[in-house]
Every structure is written in structure tokens, then in C-alpha cells.
Chains A and B, each alone.
Chain A
Amino acid sequence: METLVQPVQNSMKPGKWLNSSCKMCIHSCITRVHVTEDGVVNKIEGNPTSPSNNGRLCPKGNAAILRHYDPARFRTPLRRTNPEKGPGVDPKWAPIGWDEALDLVGRELKRTLDEDPRKLLPAINDFQKLFLWAWPAALGNANYFSSVGNFCGGGYHPMNGFIHSAFAAANDVNYCNYWINNGGGDGFSSHLHTAAQANHVAKARIERNMRVVVVEPRLSIGAAKADEWVPIRPATDRQFALGLAHVLVAEKLHDVKFLKKDTNAPYLVGPDGYFVRNGEGRIYVWDAVDDCARLWDAPELKDVALEGTYVVEGKPCRPAFQKFKDILADCSPEQMEKLTTVPAATTRRIAREFAKAAQIGSFIEIDGRMLPLRPAAYNYYRGAQGHKYSAMANQAFKLVNFLVGAIDTPGGHVGVTLDDQMQDIRGGCGQIQPGENGMMQTMPHQLHPEVPFSWPPNETHLMGFFPIGVDPGHLTQHTLANAEKFGLDYQPDTLLMCHSNPLWNLPGDREQWYALLRSMRFIVAIDILPNESNEWADVILPSHDLLESWNMTMIEPPHHEGMCLRQPATPPLYDTKSEEEIFYGISERLGVLETWNGILNFVNGFHQKPELLLEPNRKYSDREIAERKGKLWNGKDLDWYIEHGHAVTPRRPDKWYRPWDGLRLHFYIEDIVRARDTLRQKMEAADVPFRHEWEWGDYQPLPTPVPDPVHLEPADFDLYAITFKDIQINFGESIGNPWINDIVFKDPVHTAVLLNPRTARERMLADGDVVRIESPYGAIVARLALSEGVHPDAVCVSNALSRVATQNTGVRHGGGNFNQLLPANLRHTDACSGQPETVARVKLTKLAAVPAEIAAGNSVFGPNGGQGRAH
């Protein structure tokens, strides 16, 4: 007789499966969570019913259980008892009750508000509860103390707003056959719904033989899988793209019909950079057949000219396309090679291959709609666009797609909305609106409405001076250090963090950040695990984790859309609360409950369905908010979502492909010129003293090949340091999770800093040497590993080596944070978009040994370095 044997595999044990979604990065892959009969979460898998992640999960998603059960979690509200604050200084937490904690936070924040609401620095970074970002608005505060958005996508998001009226962008994996990836891991290692995108891209690569060309200084995962790796000197990606554009135009490989019909490329541009308009503000084009100027929509217009020099209304002018062509005259692959090091022949070949693959002139019928088929697309992200002239870089990449007509079309480069329910909120993000003169309305602000200009500045990060960009939180260091110059008439003294680690993610000198934090009268942190920043807090408000809370979200799924449910798998393990409860608790104590509910109605779009509206003076649970968000999406209640888990479907082709059909796209971005001049007028009018120093050259309607200032650093900083994440440490904090540690610190690219062997030989450096990596702004220490997969000018620092958190002993310290090599100043910030430079010029100095303070404690250099945990 067979004896009954208990299963040993976790998913096979008696228990139940719950539908939920992941939150180990900012995206939301659909999961199923297995809970044993004893209520222990013992397996999380991808949900196969999701057409997005197809039942797949990345390593981080697979490691969520250990965040849930991490013994380092904050278990109750905590109050600091050690008055001394500093990096690595034990706050000596004392547990307190929720009422006491919220009263304390309420009292301190009330004091701040009573003195000056601007004195609060908020750092609210929960991407799956984006509505929380709007909480400071309830206090009349628009400060922002973090760089999560702008570090990776300061120029990226506004440019997507300009070009696609969308938050993000992706190459259309459904039809693309030639995929250029420049400085981004999309489809391989990072960015949009990594597991999902890797799944779809792998299918395209293998089943459709999609060719992949990866342009990067490092042989990344994407480069390793690519058909071709094009190594490039860091911070020269824009010049590479302009080299491609040069070839496409010079060899007449571009999509003339698309440019003429679907873009403003034929619009005539005057010497002032504005389109040439008639008295009624309508824009001229040049009729190439009748050889005369006509209004863009004149019925008698025969064929518009893309090239040439004309005089209209007494102004010399050229079509926008000609303006770009003029710029491209100085962008031959041979000229660009001097900066990029990419052989001109390679650039020319890729341009030709790209144009050929784009099949200009071809069409495809989808859902009864004839659409241009352009199965070639240029995708990029952080590494390519994270530079001083970021707006220009972004536009250069977009223009390569423009030239072959591969914008928002099957197989091309397509805008990805953040959240399709957002019809007319956050400035209209997600909705296409007609603008003037037949053009689509640009939507550069994708996260919140424009912050009005003010002088003296209301915001420490000068958001009012960035009518286009993403919040440049890093500038707070620069402005507070030079408060007089920047006219700050108040000194912030309160910091509120929510799932944010600014000391980790902000560029700039650490000591200055430490000084800033020391100057805070009160710091409160809403978080799950100890990190670099919340060890400075006076009060910790512990939140539920992803296995204990409700939510409904949809964050930039590239090829899919629809709400994803998160539901509790277990009751809270500890005395924690949801973020909703916490912010309601604070709002109530500050007397802003009604305002907060009003804001929540607005940012969540509840006003679109009045029955979902939150009542002004009630507090709502995470469950209630989640239910409303689900209902807003598809009218289904929470029970439906609990049963189905999600409402994810492939993106509707009518919203995915050419949702702007009939409008013209912005090949030439006049709005950037207008934003510059409007800002200049405001600064003149207010007599802003630093207006002459403002980087006015950053605002360009078309990209130029001018080198980023990082190339102009002193010559003895002879190498370029870059940092990278891979799929195991994608997005937020990952190190410290034992399973992630177990795979990351065994992966050779994450255990040491990578250098090309030839470069090392020239500098008498060897594998395993300990070096100081020094930039003009800061220094870190690292051990070298030599790799042939590194551009000879690059020093590649894994983000796994960037952590220095001390209160969480699972977090291994690298030799310092890469970000301290970077400047946090205006000179290296794109005035147009707020993007800080993310590449550092560095020199390497060999050290005899790892400095004792760096090797101490829980360091990757310690006795246990990189092998298992240090306890």
C-alpha cells in the first residue's frame, strides 16, 4: 500500500493560489501567489493568463518572498532616540504606536506648513501608486527631492511627450525586423516590464529572425544577444545617431512621403527659429510645383518642398527638413567617428541596412486599417540619453526613426502611454489632442502639470524654470549650497520620503547631501526596509509590502494595457499600514483631507465616472482605492479582478498605431524654442540674476552634434565611467535580498569594475587590482576585472556595487556610490529637460590595498566578499 507522502516542492503543497501582480520593480508583471494552509507564502509565479508576461517572471519577481519575510523589515512605527545623525550611524530606533507616530509626524509637518509649506522636501517614489506623488500638492508644495525620474529619463519622457504624446516608447516587437538598441536594455535586461519584453523580443529574434544591433560602451546582455555589438565611446550616442541620419538623408534613403504628409518637416522655419506664419498665425510651406509659398493646408497646394532656401513674408526661411539637412552636413560618419570611435563604414552600413529593413512604401492591414509597415526601429534609453544635451540626444534618436517613417507604425518606434485611463489628467497624458496648424499637441509634461515659474523660486530644484522637463531633484544640492545666488528665500527643514532612497539615487557630492540632511529639523520615511536614506529619519512609518496590500496599476506595459490587481496574500506580518492609510492619517492631522481627496479624484481620473468619486471628508483604504481604479478601467468590481487577476490585453491597434492619424508630428520642435523664449522673458522680467548663466544653448528645435560638456573635462581624467544595471538588479533596491545576492555576486560583471585589457595594460593595471576611480566631483574605490567586452575608454561600474546602506546587514557595500562621481549642477544639467549627465570623466589610481574603512563590515571587499552573506 502506498503511503501518503507530503509534497516537498513548494507549489505542490496544500494551499491556495491568489492572483496578484509584482512590485519588485516599478512595473507590474502579473503573478499568482501560492499560500500554504498555514498561511505562509511559498511560491510566486508569473500568471500564464497574462498576454504580457506570459507566465514569466524575472529574477527579482522570483525573489519577492524574501522581501516579504526579510527580518530587517520595519515592524512597527519607530522613533529615533539617537540625536546624532550620519551615514552608518545607528538611529537607535524605539518602537512607538501608530497614533503616537502619526501624531508626531502630523505635529512636525504642521509646524512646517505653518512656517512655510515650501520648507518640505518630499521624495515620494512609489511608481505603482503614482497618485501618492501628488500628495505634496495638497500642501501647496511642488518641491521634489529625488532623481528617480529624471536620472534615467529626464529628456526621454518629455521627448516622448513631444513626439508621441506618450510617457515612454518602445520598438514594436510585433513586426520589427531590425532593432537598434542604444544604451537601453529594453527586451533584454531592463526597462519596460523586463520579463514580458524579454519574452516578446526573444520570440521576434528566434522565430522571426529579427536582427538586433546594440550600440553601447559595454557588451551588455542585449549586446551579447545581438547580431552585432557596436561599441561606442560613452556620451557620444547622439553623434552616432546623427551619423546615421546623415547617411539616410545624403543617400536619399528617407521616407519622403511620411515626412511631407505626417510631420512638420516641410513647414518653413524663419531665422528666429519659429515657423513662418501669416498674420493669422498660420504656417507656410513651399509649393515645389508652383514654386511659391502656400499655407500648409491650402487646397491648391500641389507638392511641398522638403529642401531649399526661400523668402516668405520678407523672411529668409527653409523647410524644417532643410534645417536638419544643414545640421547633418557636419555629421558625416567620418566626422562623427572622431568622437564616437564607431568606424564610419559601420555607421554607413547600419544606416543602409536600417533603411532597407524599413521597407519604405510598404503597408499592412490591421483591423481593417491600412497602415505603413516600417519593420525597423531605433530604441534607446538611459545610457544613450542620460547626458547634458539630453533633449537633443532624444530627438536625434527619434529623428532616425522619423527619417524612415517608423514612428507609431507597425514595426516601428511607438509611444507607450503610462496609463491609458488618464484621459485628460496630468496635462492630457495618454490622449492625443490636436494642436495648432495641423500638428499634434505636444505633451512634454507626462507626470504632472507644469509648475509655474516663480521668482524667488518656490522650488528648491527650480522646477518652475523647467517648463519642459522632469523634476531635476539633484539641483537641490546646487541651489541650497548657493541659496543667495538662486534667490531661495526659505531654507527647507523637513523631509518626507516614501519608498524613496535619494541618498542612493541622487548624483552629486555625498558630503553635501549629508550636510543637507543634517540640516533637516524633521525627517519621516515611509518604507519597508532600512536603506541609505531612511537611516537619517526621525520617524519611520512602516508600510505593507507587495504581499500584504491592495493596489490596481498599469505602468508602461509596452505592448499591452489594462489594470493589474495586487491583493494581500497574507495579513500584514507586522504592525504596518498601507500607503493610503498613512497619507490619509497624516492628511487628517494636517487638516487637508478634503484637498487630498480632491487631488486623488483628479489624478486617478475618478471624476470621469462620478460614481467613483471619493467623498471629501472620508478616509479610504488601499482596497477601496484599488477597487475604484479597476472599475474605472473596465467597470468590473474587485471580485472580478480577484477571480481574473488582471484586465491585461494587447494594446488596441487604434491607440497603439498612429493614434494621431490626420495630425502632423513634430519633426521640428518649435515648442522648445518657444519654451526657451518664454522662460527668458520671465527671467528678464523678474530680473533673475543668474539668467545670463542659464544654459540657453540647451534648447534646440533640432539636434546638433555639439559634444556634451563631459568631453571637455580636464584631460587627465582620461576615461569615462558609466554605470549599469542588469535584469537581476533592475530599477529599485535589490541587493540585500538573499536570492538576488546569491546570483548577483556570482556574476562576474557585478563583482568588480570592468575595464578593457588594453586600457589596463597601458596604465600598468592588472586584473584584481584595487583602484581609486576619481572624477572632478568625487571618488570611489573598486576592484578591477578586465573584460574584452568593454570599450577601451570606458570604466563600467555595476550598480550592484553602489550601495552603502548600513542598517540593513544584507546589503553589501561596494566601494562607494557611482553617483558621487557625478556633478549635481546646472552646467551638467540639460536646461531643456532637467536631465543630469550620467557619465563621469575619471582617472584610475592603483591602490596598494582596499582602504580599511571600505573593506570593513559588510563590504564586497570584506573577508566574505561576494561569496554568500556576511554575518
Chain B
Amino acid sequence: MAKWGMVFDLRRCIGCNACAVACKQENSLPDGVFFTKTLSEEVGEYPDVRRTYVPTICNHCEDAPCESACPTGATSTRPDGIVMVDRDKCIGCGTCIVACPYDQRTRLEPEMLNEGLFGGGRLTPFEEQGIGRFTVGTVVKCTFCHERVDAGQLPACVATCPTEARIFGDLDDPHSRPRQLIRERHGRQPLPEKNTNPRVFYID
């Protein structure tokens, strides 16, 4: 079985956050909730200054601290490595949120689901068809677009990325594109010192 993972090419990423919006449309995310987002950082002093764009996402860690910290078993890892949250088991204690070193989890508060994207509690037909996947008070996060992946497609953020800065594939396959890139361009995992063994790598 494949073990899904992602590589972020920092040289390619232009920080446009098309990924974030594609994710929002694919997953009907409420206002202010992101499963992935791209941050920026300025380093240096004028005129020797650089800005880097850093995409972030759930790393679907092999040693997922969210999973071991979860008191209910709501967070679990699928055989293909995708870390999932079962909304029927989640009690919204937030332990996984403080256990995730990457700040990638969000608890759905009532106003997030009730206000609507345009405010005032009026939901558009788009929101009405999508919002049912969420349970208030439970924790959500990126699922690597598990249903798309199960259907042989790429996650929405990967599919839309204008610069192809997100490379998705099977980390167990030494010939997969992500594995190749990790090898050739010395991919590194975010915060390795946290001992989580992420399935997300950065190359620059």
C-alpha cells in the first residue's frame, strides 16, 4: 500500500494561496478555517532582504502526536498514512490541537458554522450542500483530500497550484516524484526535533 506524502518546493511557491482557496472550495471550509495555508517570511536588511513563502499543511506524521494524545481514538492513521479525524468520536477536547507541533488543527466553534461565509447566518446553496460534513465542537484538519486520493486524483491544493510547488505521491515508492525530489534536492521535514516523522518535506 502506498504511503502518501507531499513535497513543497520552496523555489517554486509564489505564496498566492490558490492552494488555500482550492481547499476551501473542495472542503467547504468555514471562514477563517484553513487546512492548508502559505505563510511568508522576510529575512535580512534592505537591500539584502529575502522573502520566502512557506506552505503549511497537516504533515500526516508517521509518529503522529495528535493520534497518541487523542483520548477517544477519534484521530487515527489509515493504512496509506493519511491521518484522519472521526467526527463521530471526537469530543472537542483540543488535546490534539495542542499536541500537533504544526498548529494544523482547528476546533469548529458554533459561529464558524452558523455565520456563513457572507455573514448574517444566511447560507448559500454552496454552503448548504457542503457544511453537513462538519460537526460543531469537533476538530478538523487536512485529510490529503482522502476521497480524491482514493479515486486516484490529486489533492485539490496540489491540482491547482499554479507553479506546481506541491508534489504529491507515494513515499514508499523510491521512484515516485516526491521521493526523487527528496533525494535529489535534500528534502527536509519540518521541525524534525519534534520526533514526529512528517510525511511532508520541504526542498529549496
Contacts and interface: CB of A to CB of B under 8 A. Distances in A.
Is there direct touching of A and B in the complex, by C-beta distance under 8 Å?
A: yes
Interface of A: 7-13, 36, 38, 40-46, 53, 55-59, 61-63, 65-66, 68-72, 188-189, 194-196, 198-199, 201-203, 205-206, 219, 221, 223-225, 229, 231, 726-728, 738-740, 742-743, 746-749, 756-758, 787-792, 809-810, 867-871
Given A10-B25, A41-B126, A57-B18, 9 more contacts: A7-B147, A46-B159, A71-B124, A223-B51, A229-B47, A743-B21, A748-B40, A758-B46, A791-B46
Given A42-B129, A206-B11, A789-B42, A224 B147 contact: no
A788 B47 CA distance: 7
23 contacts: A8-B147, A9-B146, A9-B156, A10-B130, A12-B148, A12-B151, A13-B129, A42-B130, A62-B18, A66-B124, A69-B126, A70-B118, A71-B122, A195-B18, A198-B14, A202-B162, A219-B51, A224-B51, A224-B53, A727-B16, A738-B31, A791-B46, A870-B119
Contacts of B124: 66, 69-71
A333 to B, nearest CB: 16
A784 to B, nearest CB: 15
Contact of A871 (B27, B42, B119, B153): B119
B118 A810 contact: yes
B160 interface: yes
What 6 pairs across the A-B complex have the smallest Cβ distances?
Answer: A871-B119, A202-B163, A69-B124, A8-B133, A224-B51, A62-B21
Contact of B15 (A201, A224, A868): A224
Contacts of A36: 129
Most buried by B among A11, A68, A740: A11
B193 interface: no
Contact of B49 (A44, A746, A788): A788
Contacts of B21: 59, 62-63, 739-740, 742-743
Most buried by B among A12, A205, A743: A743
A791 B162 CA distance: 28
Nearest to B38: A743
A809 B120 CA distance: 11
Contact of A789 (B37, B46, B165): B46
B9 interface: yes
A195 B151 contact: no
Interface of B: 9, 11-12, 14-18, 20-22, 24-28, 31-32, 37, 40, 42, 44-47, 49-53, 115, 117-120, 122, 124-126, 128-130, 133, 145-148, 151, 153, 156, 159-165
B42 A788 contact: yes
A66 B133 CA distance: 19
A746 B45 CA distance: 23
A57 B162 CA distance: 6
Contacts of A201: 163
A156 B31 CA distance: 39
B98 to A, nearest CB: 22
A53 B160 CA distance: 10
Given A10-B28, A11-B26, A71-B124, A225 B46 contact: no
Contact of A56 (B26, B118, B162): B162
Nearest to A63: B21
A756 B46 contact: yes
A747 B40 contact: yes
Given A41-B126, A56-B161, A57-B160, A198 B26 contact: no
A676 B150 CA distance: 66
A58 B129 contact: no
B51 A789 contact: yes
Contacts of B42: 219, 787-789
A788 B50 CA distance: 9
Contacts of B40: 224, 747-749
Given A738-B117, A788-B46, A869-B118, A59 B20 contact: yes
B16 A790 contact: no
Contacts of A203: 164
Contacts of B128: 40
Contact of B160 (A46, A65, A71): A46
B133 to A, nearest CB: 4
A543 to B, nearest CB: 19
Contacts of B28: 10, 42
Contacts of A726: 16
A62 B22 contact: yes
Given A65-B126, A790-B46, A11 B164 contact: no
Contacts of A788: 42, 44-46, 49
Contact of A199 (B20, B129, B145, B163): B163
A201 B27 CA distance: 29
Contacts of A43: 25-26, 156
A36 B125 CA distance: 11
Nearest to B151: A12
Contacts of B44: 788
Contacts of B31: 738, 742, 868-869
Nearest to A201: B163
A653 to B, nearest CB: 25
A224 B130 contact: no
B14 A189 contact: yes
A38 B129 contact: yes
B26 A10 contact: yes
B16 A12 contact: no
A810 B12 CA distance: 32
Contacts of B32: 742, 867-868
Given A63-B21, A743-B21, A11 B133 contact: no
A199 B145 CA distance: 22
Contact of A202 (B22, B50, B165): B165
Contacts of A13: 129
Nearest to A195: B162
B148 A11 contact: yes
Nearest to B43: A788
A188 B14 contact: yes
Contacts of B17: 59, 728, 743, 747
A869 B119 contact: yes
Given A40-B125, A748-B40, A62 B53 contact: no
A225 B52 CA distance: 8
Given A11-B148, A12-B148, A206 B159 contact: no
Most buried by A among B16, B42, B117: B16
A45 B160 contact: yes
Nearest to B18: A59
Nearest to B111: A868
Contacts of A809: 119
Contacts of A55: 159-160
B47 A9 contact: no
Contacts of B165: 202
Contacts of B37: 743, 746
A694 B122 CA distance: 56
A238 to B, nearest CB: 21
A189 B26 contact: no
Contacts of B145: 9
Contacts of B117: 66, 738-739
B87 to A, nearest CB: 10
A792 B151 CA distance: 52
B105 to A, nearest CB: 17
A221 B42 CA distance: 12
Nearest to A759: B46
Most buried by B among A38, A728, A738: A738
Nearest to B120: A871
A867 B32 CA distance: 8
A40 B126 contact: yes
Contacts of B14: 188-189, 198, 202, 221, 224-225, 727
Nearest to B44: A788
Nearest to A341: B47
Contacts of B133: 8
A868 B115 CA distance: 11
Given A58-B18, A742-B24, A205 B12 contact: yes
A840 B22 CA distance: 37
